[in-house]
Every structure is written in C-alpha cells, then in structure tokens.
Amino acid sequence: MKKYLYTLSISLLFLTFSFATLAQHEKPEDRWEKFRAEKISFLTAKLDLTPEEAQNFWPVYNKMEKERLDAQMARRELEQQVRDAAETLSDKEIIKLTREFAQTMDEEGTLATKYNEQFLKILPPQKVLKLYKTEGEFRMYMFRKYRDQRGGDDKRN
C-alpha cells in the first residue's frame, strides 16, 4: 500500500509540474488553481459522495493534498541536492544527505497511511478504493490532455 501511495504521490507531483508547462504565460498560482479545480471536479464526478460524505471528505482531502505537496517539495529540494552533490563530499556529509533523502520518502508514506485511516473513518472502504483508482484515472486524463494540447505524435488513448 505504501509503495502504491508513494508512486501516486510522485506521479501527482510530476503531473503538477507537467501541467504547469501547459500555460507558461499564467502565474504559477493560477495554473495550480486551475489544476486543483479540474481535479476536484473530476473526483467529485467519479466518487459519487453523499452530501454528508462530501462535507467530511473534502476538508480532510484538501489538508492531505497540502501536506503531501509540502512533503514532495521538501523531497524535491533534497533530490536537487543529491543531483548536485559532488563525489568529493565526505562520507559523513553523504550519509547525512542520503538519510535526509530517505526520511522525506518515509514521511510521504506516513502521510499516505495517516490519511488512508482518516478516509476509512469518513467513507465506506469501497469509496476509499475508488478514490485511489480515480486519482490514477485523473493522472492519466491529465497526461492525455497534456499530450493532446502539445499536439504530440502519439495519439493513443
């Protein structure tokens, strides 16, 4: 489960940055809000939440998204440090850097576990599973949309 959620997190981060290139003339905040609005609309249409479920689900989901993004950004900063790290670093410096990097991945997994349990308290298990499937569908939808807007040669669905 952690592996799936970690992969999901990485994919969402990649998708976020890929989507940002679609509208380079827009402010980053505007692009992010557009992306979030489209994601919320997509999830809302697919999850078929009752009004009570929606009222309880969205605040938790939004909080998870913020925490997940913060964790991903921290990991991304460390990824940059790893890429830029010179082999001339001391073993002690390398060990510190690699431990920090591994810790950020662990924190993302912990977030996934934490919020999975919260979702199971709010939604029936079938809808939690549907949430994860729908997030994957949304990623694929956005990849196709990005590819189509770029006018890519690959038009597979």
Average pLDDT of the chain is 82
| Local structure of 16: helix, strand or coil | helix
Provide the percentage of residues in the chain whose pLDDT is more than 70: 80
Position 12 scores a pLDDT of: 46
Of 26 and 70, which is predicted with more confidence?
70
Please write the tens of the pLDDT for every residue from 19-69.
445 445 667 777 778 888 999 999 999 999 999 999 999 999 999 999 999
Arithmetic mean of pLDDT, 64-89: 86
CA separation for the pair 115, 96 (Å, rounded): 29
* Residue 96 token pair: 């510190």
Provide the percentage of residues in the chain whose pLDDT is more than 90: 45
Arithmetic mean of pLDDT, 75-103: 85
State the amino acid at position 54 in one-letter form. Answer: A
Of 133 and 98, which is predicted with more confidence?
133
Residue 82's contacts (CB-CB under 8 Å, 6 or more residues apart) are 97, 98, 101
Question: Which of 25-29, 47-51, 112-116, 123-127 is predicted least confidently?
Answer: 25-29
Beta strands in the chain (DSSP E): none
> Domains of the chain: which residue ranges?
2-150
pLDDT of 7 higher than 70: no
Position 116 scores a pLDDT of: 97
Where residue 13 falls among pLDDT bands split at 50, 70, 90? Answer: very low
